[in-house]
Amino acid sequence: MTTAVYPGSFDPIHMGHIDVIERARAIFDRVVVGVLDNSLKSCLFSAEERSRLVRESLPSGSDVEVVHFSGLAVSFAVSQQAEVIVRGLRAVSDLDSEFQMALMNRRLEPRVHTVFLTTGFTNVYLSSSLIKDVCAHGGSIAGLVAAPVETALCHRLAPASRTGHGAVG
Ligand code: PNS
């Protein structure tokens, strides 16, 4: 039985992430999504909120586990008895930093292997920051994130023109 962890910030999860999770689940026996709880990184949503949004974005009946973690991704992988860290690649430009991280992770924990999965063509341009920016400026993010994420984002980032109250958080 091969376990893979998929660590990330997921602030918030979008369709590109879901695509990677589904591809990982098709390959590995057990998939654990690890939501990074890092006080040094400022996120729009708390680790609990991000984990809840990941769970709510997955199809009902999905057997993918979702937990939040702090510390090193490799330590998280070992704590989950995982042999694999999954990372998604959108474009060649992602490879630079991902390659660096994969090699550092291998140095830290040679038993854990990094596997890169590419997202589908329809999702290659998606990023959480871009989606937050579009939403904050009143653009539609329908179809780019699951419905619960769209609701949560609109609630937190709704521009003044849409709500009459201004942005929150
Ligand atoms: O979704 P992101 O922000 O691209 O994910 C980055 C993440 C969480 C995978 C990376 O920052 C990470 O692994 N952080 C945990 C701390 C760690 O292991 N740092 C060393 C990486 S070589």
Ligand 1 mutation target, pool 101, 109, 119, 131, most atoms within 8 A of CB: 101
**pLDDT over 60 at 164, yes or no:** no
Please give the helix or strand (H or E) that residue 5 lies within, else none.
strand 3-8
pLDDT score recorded for residue 160: 54
101 CB-near residues (< 8 Å, 6+ apart): 87, 114
pTM for the predicted model, two decimal places: 0.93
Q: How far apart are CA 88 and CA 68, in angstroms?
A: 18
Q: How far apart are CA 34 and CA 51, in angstroms?
A: 8
**pLDDT band at residue 108 under the 50/70/90 scheme:** very high
Which ligand 1 atom sits closest to the C-alpha of 73? Answer: 18
Asked whether 70 and 45 are in contact (CB, 8 A), the reply is no
- Is 41 catalytic? The answer is yes
The token pair at 27 is 């390959």
Instruction: Give the residue-averaged pLDDT of 91-108.
Output: 94
pLDDT tens, position by position, 5-27: 999 999 999 999 999 999 999 99
**pLDDT over 90 at 41, yes or no:** no
C-alpha 18 – ligand 1 centre gap (Å)? 18
pLDDT score recorded for residue 39: 79
C-alpha 143 – ligand 1 centre gap (Å)? 26
47 CB-near residues (< 8 Å, 6+ apart): 35, 36, 37, 68
- Taking CA atoms only, the protein residue closest to ligand 1 atom 4 is 8
Q: How far apart are CA 160 and CA 137, in angstroms?
A: 9
- Taking CA atoms only, the protein residue closest to ligand 1 atom 17 is 72
- Taking CA atoms only, the protein residue closest to ligand 1 atom 18 is 72
pLDDT tens, position by position, 132-156: 999 999 999 999 999 999 999 999 9
Q: How far apart are CA 104 and CA 43, in angstroms?
A: 24
